[in-house]
Structure 1
Amino acid sequence: MREVDEELEVTEHLEELRKRIIWTLVVFILFLVGSFVFVEEIYEWLIRELDQKLVILGPSDILWVYFMISGICAIAMTIPFAAFQIYRYIKPALNLKEQKATLSYIPVLFLLFLVGISFGYFIVFPMVLSFMEGLSANHFQEMYTTEKYFRFMMQMTLPFGLLFELPVVILFLTTIGILNPTHLIKARKVAYFVLVVVAVSVTPPDFISDFLVTIPLLLLYEISISLAKMVYKKKQKKERPDLKSVS
């Protein structure tokens, strides 16, 4: 009887998870369609400072680029809804304080994604592109295809949008008791190695790009540790005021 109850509980959890995923996909598709309506205006804004016209090698290239631009916009706009669906799914397992804290992280998650995208687009992308153009100056005639230009732009922006959310994810895991600053400090070497691998994997194969992505990621991890210490100390004082907080 107990095994049957456990199977029913697992089935209910999976059904709830399926429902949350479906709703998230529906919202993503709606935002994708909405973004595609205005994709030409977005495209024109993204190439506003480019001195040359981009080249397409086939009729499918521009369609691929339009879908990529629309997809990134849809991802950005879906993040708050997806985070809320995750919150609704795990809400029964959280106490009232954890529910309030988790809910407050959702707008921050969205803002950090926008900050990360902006950092990649306005700072990293122009620096790396300028460096690349400097290498080819007086040696090659520059001619960018639309697909390669926007693929390069995506590699220099989207990873920052996702990885800038690292502090919020760590704060959330600290709030619900899965992580604490001691774990983060002990795992620093492993985390650094993983972040370097991620940075190298998501960037073009050149040292400058790897460096410009790796350094902010390492700084984000250290910021996450500092924020986790603050949350953990506050949590300790409320739960066990007789214990010394982690330094």
Structure 2
Amino acid sequence: MLEKNIKEMSFLDHLEELRWLLVRSSVAILIMAIVTYFFADYIFDVLIFGPTNPNFITYRFFCEASHYIGFADSICITELPFTIINTEMEGQVNIFVWTCITSGFILAFPYILWELWKFISPALYEKERKHAKLFIFIASILFFIGVLFGYYVIVPMSVNFLATFTISSVVKNNFTIDSYVSMVKTAVIASGLFFELPIIIYFLTKLGLVTPTFLRTYRRYAIVIVLIVAAIVTPPDVVSQITVAIPMLLIYEASIFISALVVKNKKKNEQSS
């Protein structure tokens, strides 16, 4: 059985705890957002607008890889024919503020995980509560790997595809700064959260909402969804699609392994009790 708290908490007590979790997390995000303010030039010029440069590291890597596998210059990026424009009076101010907040969320993520752990830990076994540092470390590493994957893989591939796609030579690509930055933020945050899937599956399995059998049964559907996502966010070439699909499939397989491990340990605890 799960450990019981010395003092039982009512539903309202849990809501109060959740409220303070959100408050403290919001303050942490705000503090980190203020910190990023002092690095705004680097964040915008180097990071956010980096993938608009044909000399971006990802483009150079794929160009070198295409030479290595005998594709010549077929996937080399020499030009990104688009411009980024601002069409609203307060557009750049809004982008600046929300980019700082998004950066603050990414930097404060380990602390948010710590707050989340404190909230859910009363429902865990005593020996599981001792692994707080390990949980926060692994979950943070997965998130940051996902963020890097989104930034260095999904974003440049999406930029390349959207910049070069055209329905007619009459139409010129002029992207608004809002649409461009939103695409970057969405890709980075979504990728980071997707890489948290093994952690999410761990807790869902603990609650009995997910089983390894369920995940294996729907593996084929997961593969189809991953391939569709990879096809959407990448240029229409096999190399790019495989580059995006493989890490996502590995994350799904890792989730199945973790779910099976949780079920195995749960059965072992039931037999020993």
Cα separation, 1, equivalents of 2:258 and 2:271? 20
CA RMSD of aligned residues (A): 3.7
When residues 90 and 53 of structure 1 are mapped into structure 2, their CA distance, relative to the original with a 3 A threshold, is: same
> Which segments of 5 or more consecutive residues in structure 2 lack a partner in the other structure?
1-7, 54-81
What letter corresponds to residue 37 of structure 1 in structure 2? Answer: F
Aligned amino acid, residue 30 of structure 2 = I
How far the C-alpha of 1:98 sits from its partner, in A, is 1.6
What do residues 77-104 of structure 1 show as CA deviations (whole Å, max 9, x unaligned)? 2221122112212222222222124542
Alignment match, 1:21:
22
Matches of 2:177 and 2:267 in 1, distance apart? 54
CA distance in 2, matches of 1:15, 1:155: 30
- CA shift digits 1:28-50 (9 cap, x unpaired): 22122222332222101122453
Contact 1:125 1:153 in 2 (8 A): yes
Structure 2 CA distance for partners of 1:26 and 1:223, relative to 1, 3 Å: same
Distance in 2 between residues matched to 1:207 and 1:11, nearest whole Å: 46
Match of 2:145 in 1: 115
- The CA deviation string for residues 58-115 of structure 1, in whole angstroms up to 9 with x for no partner, is 3311112212321221111222112211221222222222212454221221111111
Change (3 A) 1:8 1:175: closer
**TM alignment of 1:125-204, pairs within 5 A:** 125-136=155-166, 139=169, 140-174=171-205, 179-186=210-217, 188=218, 192=222, 196=225
Equivalent positions of 1:214-229 (< 5 A) are 217-229=248-260
- Of 167-176 and 230-239, deviating more is 230-239
Over the matched positions of the two proteins, sequence identity in percent amounts to: 27
Q: Write the deviation string for residues 123-175 of structure 1: whole angstroms up to 9, x where unpaired.
A: 12212222223323992444333222212222332211111111122124445
Does the 8 Å contact 2:198/2:258 carry over to 1?
A: yes
Shift in CA distance, 29/225, structure 1 to aligned 2, threshold 3 Å: same
For 2:209 and 2:42, how far apart are their aligned partners in 1? 44
Q: Give 1:43's aligned residue.
A: 44
Counterpart residue number, 2:76: none
Q: Give 1:207 shift.
A: 5.3
Relative to its length, the structure with more helix (as a share) is 1
- With a CA cutoff of 8 Å and minimum separation of 6, indicate the structure with the bigger relative contact order: 2
Residues in 1 aligned to 2:254 and 2:9: alpha-carbon distance in whole angstroms: 42
Whether 1:92 aligns to 2:122 is yes
Offset at residue 119 of structure 1 (A)? 0.9
With structure 1 as the length reference, what TM-score do the two structures score? 0.75
Letter in 2 for 1:208: I
| Of 77-86 and 230-239, the range deviating more from structure 2 | 230-239
Judged with a 3 Å threshold, the aligned counterparts in structure 2 of structure 1 residues 66 and 175 are, in CA distance, closer, same or farther, namely same
Distance in 2 (CA, whole Å) between partners of 1:148 and 1:11 is 41
Compared CA separation, residues 19 and 141, structure 1 to 2 (3 A): closer
CA contact (8 A) 2:52 2:159 kept: no
SS at match of 1:136: coil
Secondary structure, aligned partner of 1:54: strand
Number of residues of Structure 1 aligned to a counterpart in Structure 2: 230
The aligned amino acid for 1:41 is Y
Distance 1:87 1:178, change over 3 A: farther
